[in-house]
Amino acid sequence: MTHNIKKVFTLLLVAFAAQVSAQNNELKTLIQQSFTYFPRVQEVNKFVEVNEVKVDYARSGYLPTINGSATYSYVDPVGQARFQTGTDSYRTLQFQPNNNYNANIGLNQLIWDFGRTQSQIDKSKADLLASQHNASQVKFQLASQVANIYYGLVFLRQAIAVEDSVISFYNENAKIVDGRVKQGDALRIDVLNIQTNVDQAKNRKIELTRLYNRQLELLKYTTGQEQEPTATTFDFLSSAESSIAANPELLAAQQRVVSAEADSEFARRNQMPNLNFQAVAGVRNGYQPDINETRFNYLVGAGLSIPIFQGGRVHQQISLASKNVEATKFARENVEQTMSKDLQIAQVDIQAYTDQLVSLESQIDQAREALRLNEVRYRQGVGTYLDLLNATNNLQRAVLNRINVEYQRCQSYIEKARLTGTAFWE
């Protein structure tokens, strides 16, 4: 009578006891698809490109700047003087032409700025690395989300399969009990109990199916694919790594410290002078004796700019930058402590779930044996159908508990991989 449900439970137990030697390739494919589909990943990748440009921009501070200019102006009146050149002759000397032309090309080259430009380059490099780690962090978060959704679907599908097996068992035995009622070997209440259990199992299946469909929508939201998983086990492999040193969030926090230190260095360098080389060449008019003639001219020199007094702004910038360094260091320490705490919790959970699974194996064996004994007692007429139902429910709960614990441990494995910076999709 209970052959059907015992067969289904046995298949479930064998399936969940199976171990897989390789990471699920289907999951890896879904995660890779999410990287190209989810807009958040594209956004952080663009920020990486922005910071790459900023590095090149900072390096350009060592390159010369060349500018060309051309001006025209009409001036009237202009300064002039009248000189007598003979008895009755005079000459007017004009000091500036009415029409003024000036065209030139100027070059300005930094010779030495006492590390100001280098500190800007260092900051840009740190910002670039931080943005790259942020992009990795987003990928880890998304990959973890996809993995949790994927194995959530596996969990719900297995739970639905258990409910299907229970419903099948109740329907099969309802006919047998109904026949016994007609023969006077069973009570009508047994039929009512069966129907009540069928209705409860159907309601549980409806709820599980609703959650399953929601998970499918979440999978589509993150990957663009509405794909039901083919996995039948929680085959996520845990990394043996137990350090957060490779965690991208921690690495990004460290680079933010480096960036703040470069900012602080730049603020201190603002107290130092600037030495520049200058050169200008072009044509203009206004030269005597023919002030209307345009002539070639050039200028070569060097300039030293020394800050003397800037209203205390430099000292304020130094103080502000130093406090920002301290704040980013505390932020990095906070990230490190939080990551370490979360990793310890994940490892504790994994060990606890593993221990629970050992206990659940024993419970399942006991529940399965109890079901067998109650079936024998019921056939011999010394047991009630209520006892048989209770034994069936106990086995069902034990199987569902094992599925749930397997799923919870799988989630802890995923969290551990995220915290240790293990790229499980590669």
Please name each of the domains of the chain with its CATH number: 3-72+113-275+312-420 (1.20.1600.10)
Task: Indicate whether 180 pLDDT > 70.
Answer: no
- Per cent of the chain over pLDDT 90 is 59
When comparing pLDDT for 129 and 371, which is higher?
Answer: 129
pLDDT class for 185, splitting at 50, 70, 90? low
- The closest alpha carbon to 426, from 44, 31, 148, belongs to 31
How much is the pLDDT for 183? 65
Residue 320, CA atoms < 13 Å, CB-side half-sphere: 9
How much is the pLDDT for 23? 47
How much is the pLDDT for 81? 83
Q: What is the pTM of this model?
A: 0.82
How much is the pLDDT for 89? 79
Residue 61 is classified by DSSP as G
What is the helix, strand, coil percentage profile of the chain, to 5? 65, 15, 20
When comparing pLDDT for 41 and 390, which is higher?
Answer: 41
- Per cent of the chain over pLDDT 70 is 91
Burial 276-312 (b: 16+ CB within 10 A, else e): beebbebebbbeeeebeeeeeeeeeeeeeeeeeeeee
When comparing pLDDT for 174 and 262, which is higher?
Answer: 262
Task: Indicate whether 3 pLDDT > 80.
Answer: no
How much is the pLDDT for 12? 47
* Contact predicate 158/12, CB 8 Å: yes
- Exposed/middle/buried for residue 34 (C-beta within 10 Å: 0-12, 13-18, 19+): buried
